[in-house]
A = this chain, B = another copy of it.
Amino acid sequence: MFARTPEPPYWAVIFSSQRTAQDDGYGDMADAMLALAAGQPGYLGVESVRGDDGFGITVSYWASEDAVVAWKAEGRHRLAQAEGYACWYAQLFTRVACVKRDHHWMRV
């Protein structure tokens, strides 16, 4: 669902990935990482979706570039990244970006 981010500027990590057919606890780990991220300093929210073809986009939002760097280096997250390379992902693209402006709209 939607992340309730504050006024820009803030940071976004755009993580695009193609899953392998291997499961081996992927769903549990993905859930654990979302929960772990939510407790990190500077965490602002996450939006995530994966299609039936195994291609997914997860965007996490952070208060600062330092918070992005710290999250990448977090110990349990690093273990999860290693398992991702070993098993779960066929291809991935991570992009670190600074959000300059945004626009939210909801039907009333």
Interface residues of A in 90-107 (CB under 8 A from B): 90-107
CA distance A60 to B58 in the complex (A): 14
Tell me whether B91 and A2 are in contact (CB under 8 A): yes
Residues of the B chain whose Cβ atoms lie less than 8 Å from the Cβ of A78: none
**Number of copies of this protein chain within its complex:** 2
| Size of the chain A interface, CB-CB below 8 angstroms | 41
Cβ contacts A12-25/B at 8 Å (1 or 0 each): 10101010100000
Assess whether A106 is in contact with B94, with CB atoms less than 8 Å apart: no
SS class, residues of chain A in contact with chain B: strand
The answer, yes or no, to whether A26 is at the interface (CB within 8 Å) is no
Inter-subunit contact B96/A100 (CB<8 Å):
yes
A38 to B4, CA, bound (A): 30
Cβ-defined contact, B2 with A18, below 8 A: yes
A55 and B49 contact, Cβ closer than 8 Å, known pairs A92-B104, A95-B102 = yes
Known: A96-B101, A100-B96, A105-B85. A14 touches B91 (CB 8 A): no
